[in-house]
Structure 1
Amino acid sequence: MVEAKYPAVVERYVNLGQSYDAAGLQDIREEIIGAMDGYPACYQRAYRCLGAAERLREDMRAALLTDAAGEKLARRARGILARELRPRSGGQKGRVKQRFLGAVTHKGVLCLYDTAFAQCSRVYELADRDGLAHELLIHLLAGAVEGGYDAVACPDPMAPSRLAHLLVPQRGLAFVSTAGETALPRPADRRIHLDGAAEGDVLRRDRPRLRFARKVSAALMGEAVASLSQAKAMHDRLEALYNPYVDFDLVEETARQIGDEILNG
């Protein structure tokens, strides 16, 4: 619920509750209350599982991202910038937009890779089992903006402070990370295995720990998706109960009136 700060002056309330047949809904009151049982708990369980999965991913990154690994990724980024994103003339910096390209949904982990392929003719795939893409992408983003290119930075839905993908439409260039949950709609132009940045000694030393973290993280993601799917089924049940008692013509008329006010005001 968002309260209006300046009612009727800057903001206004829109009462869609008037479109309900309140008297008719009383006949199915118990069914509606029953359908809500456990609904919030499904989301709470999903969020707890996602939070735990991300903490395990963070633990893996902490183990793998040594100074040497970080320098290797920075060096790789400098090479890509020199080859693909040479500075434009004029000295003006580019702008950055943030857009999510993926999400964890009731259907599983989804990513709109088609969007990247539609906007960019050349695509780098960053094979990223352990979540190191951000360390490469942050250098690419800084170099692209400094070189005068506008960029679309795509946060990781599991950790929005970290980047998962980067699009530079002015160069027809995209960098998309994959981790096994989702597949690209077609082969990328180039593929970079980011796991190779980790030091061999670290991989050998922490192999059991990493294997455990990957396995448990995947199980937690699966439980989160199952909980979201359960919540979606309950939501669909509620919609099926409410829909016969909603005057959708009134809803559409209200939307049309508001649209006219915005366009003609």
Structure 2
Amino acid sequence: MVEPKLPGAVERYVNLGDCYDRAGLQSVRAELTACMKGYKGCYQRAYRCLTAAAQIGEDMRAALITPAVEARLARRTRGILAREVKKSGKEPGKAVQRFLGAITWKGIVCNFDTVDALCRRVYELSDSYGLGHVMLTHLATGAMAAGYDVILCPSPMWPDRIEHLLIPALSLAFVTSTPALPYGKRPYRRLRLDAMADQEVMRHLRARLRFSKKVSAALVEEAVESLAQAKAMHDELESLYNPHVDFDRVYRIAGEIIDELSSRLPDA
């Protein structure tokens, strides 16, 4: 629940609790209590696993991101900007952040269809170790400097990192493709970022990287399983509640709120 800061003057409370058949819910009280046993624990386990997986991923990335690799990525980025992002002569563009993917009970998902709907040309960044953030940061900065608005899509695992970049005005996108979540479509161009890492360092760390990837994948799998268990519990909870909810009243309240908000909109 979002607590109103100025109730009555700006916001107001909407009490959907009045839509419950409380007498009916009393008859399934024991079942409601039983079906949620362990629910919170499922989410706690999922968060612990994802936190551990993220730390392992950050360890791999830190081992491979060297000044030489960053310079190599920056140099490649300058070539892409010169070819794809011509100066518009306008004021610098702006950036908005939008999550394109998530870690859910179905696994790691990404709405690549949104990319295809907004951009005809898609660069696929094949990236197993999180090197793409450096390139995407330079690309976003260059595009905004040239006068284009950009959409920055953070990683659900590492929200401080850019995972995908969309420049709708140029119908141009850069998406990160990983072994766990490949782009799966024919890109405009494909860049193998793994090949830009220091190959001597890669050889030296081969066993460590292989082990880290295996453990990280297992942790994510365990997190997804925990989320699936939590969803199953919530589905059971809904099946118990739904017969005792006056949905006509819920929809009527929703309609009243829509009308209220619509009345505040300026005339077209």
Q: TM-score normalized by structure 1?
A: 0.98
Could you tell me how far 1:118 is from its partner in structure 2? 1.1
Report what 1:42 is aligned to.
42
RMSD: 0.9
**Where in structure 2 are the equivalents of 1:1-265 lying within 5 Å?**
1-90=1-90, 92-265=91-264
Q: CA deviation at 1:170?
A: 0.6
**Over residues 131-151 of structure 1, what are the superposed CA-to-partner deviations in whole Å (9 max), with x where a residue is unaligned?**
111011000000000010111
For normalisation by structure 2, the TM-score amounts to 0.96
CA contact (8 A) 1:113 1:185 kept: no
Which amino acid in 2 is paired with 1:105? T
What code does the residue aligned with 1:16 have? L
- Counterpart AA for 2:92: K
1:183 shift after superposition = 3.4
In structure 2, distance between residues paired with 1:204 and 1:185? 28
Q: Which moved more, 1:253-262 or 1:215-224?
A: 253-262
What do the CA deviations read for 1:95-122 (whole angstroms, capped 9, x no partner)? 1111111110100100111111111110
Following superposition, the deviation at residue 185 of structure 1 comes to 4.8
Alpha-carbon separation, structure 2, partners of 1:137 and 1:173:
13
The Cα of 1:3 is off from its aligned counterpart by 2.2
CA distance in 2, matches of 1:185, 1:149: 27
1:204 offset after TM fit, Å? Answer: 1.2
Residue 197 of structure 1 deviates from its aligned partner by: 1.3
Structure 2 Cα separation of the partners of residues 119 and 67 of structure 1: 34
SS in 2 for 1:229: helix
Instruction: Indicate conservation of the 8 Å contact 2:176/2:183, yes or no.
Output: no
Q: Percent identity?
A: 55
Gaps of 5+ in 1: none
> Do the aligned residues in 2 keep the contact of 1:46 with 1:224 (CA within 8 Å)?
yes
Distance 1:120 1:43 in 2: 36
Q: Is the 8 A contact 2:115 2:166 kept in 1?
A: yes
Q: Give the counterpart letter for 1:69 in structure 2.
A: V
Structure 1 residue 259: Cα displacement: 1.2
Conserved in 2, the CA contact under 8 Å of 1:151 and 1:166? Answer: yes
* Contact 1:114/1:185 (8 A) holds in 2: no
How far apart are the structure 2 equivalents of 1:233 and 1:87?
Answer: 52
Note if contact 2:85-2:146 (Cα within 8 Å) is conserved in structure 1. Answer: yes
Q: How many residues align?
A: 264
Structure 1 residue ranges, 4+ long, deviating more than 3 angstroms after superposition: none
Amino acid of the structure 2 residue aligned with 1:67: P
Return the alpha-carbon distance in structure 1 between the equivalents of residues 89 and 261 of structure 2.
Answer: 41
Measure how far apart 1:260 and its partner are: 1.2
Alignment partner of 1:161: what SS? coil
Unmatched tracts of structure 2, length 5 or more:
none
